[in-house]
Amino acid sequence: MSLPLDMYLIGNLTYAHGENRDTYEPLAEIPPLAGSVALRYDIDTWFVEIQEQFADQQERVDDSLNEQETSCWNITNTKAGLNLDQWSIYAGVNNLFDKYYFSHLSYQRDPFRTGAKVPETGSFAYLTVMYKY
């Protein structure tokens, strides 16, 4: 969504609800409500953006498969970019405040199928340089 002063509001929201019609229990591996909202300042040659990413608590789990409930979480991501002729440079920091959290079903990923929850990556920075020819 375009806002005044070269600002943009960007967002997404996802939700899935599944139920086993035979047992009236939640379906397995259904993620919780999740999404993100970002505010971006963007002119022709450069941009800066701050994003809040989140997921709700997941209480609807399949007990027969030993799924575990997951707490809600939110993280802050930032990025900036520069576009000059054929060059583009992007840099950012995800999980800016180094939040300790778990995504739903993080304990189900190979090779971590032991049932132990695996935390998501802490704060990390990235840099991307592209040349278009």
Please spell the DSSP secondary structure of 35-64, one letter per residue. Answer: EEEEEEEE-SSEEEEEEEEEE--B----GG
Reduced to 3 states (helix: H, G, I; strand: E, B; else coil), residue 106 is helix
Q: Which helix or strand (DSSP H or E) is residue 101 part of? A: none
pLDDT for 22-34, tens place per residue?
Answer: 888 888 888 899 9
What does pTM read for this prediction? Answer: 0.81
Q: What is the pLDDT of residues 78-124, one digit of tens each?
A: 999 999 999 999 999 999 999 999 888 766 555 556 667 778 889 99
- Contact between residue 26 and residue 61 where contact means Cβ atoms under 8 Å apart: yes
Strand order in the sheet with 87-94: 2-3, 7-14, 34-42, 46-55, 73-84, 87-94, 124-131
